Amino acid sequence: MMHDLIIISAGPGGIALAAEASASGRDPSQILILEKGPTHNSAIRQLYPERKLTTANYKGFAARCEGLLCVRDMTKPETLQFFDKIISDYRVNIEFNAEVYGMRGLEESRKEKIRKGK
């Protein structure tokens, strides 16, 4: 199946991009996120202690809300719930356990995913 937009990684950036694309009028069924892990935000799930804040700033840079998703400082469970809601509200299509090994052009405006064994 062909998609208009393929995003690699179901972390905060990938989910935000899919939601922004959907909100701007792209058909959600034509947007696909490929995620290497078994769930979204795998790094947060695996590496963050339960009570650690996921902060909106990055390495001291103040967070600015410039798009659809305005992320604030949240606990790990709040962060995961926030992205669960975004995925549901914007009908974000994610294919889990899909490791991407490379890309090759089909035409200028499209890319094909290449996965090992497929």
pLDDT tens-digit profile of 19-30?
A: 999 999 999 999
What's the rounded Cα separation, in Å, for the pair 17 and 15?
5
Residue 31, Cβ density class (10 Å: 0-12 exposed, 13-18 middle, ≥19 buried): buried
pLDDT at 114 exceeding the cut of 90: no
pLDDT at 113 exceeding the cut of 70: no
pLDDT at 117 exceeding the cut of 50: no
Distance of CA 17 to the CA centre of its chain: 7
Per-residue tokens: 63: 């967070």
Alpha-carbon Rg for the chain, nearest whole angstrom, is: 15
pLDDT at 109 exceeding the cut of 50: no
What's the rounded Cα separation, in Å, for the pair 29 and 99?
20
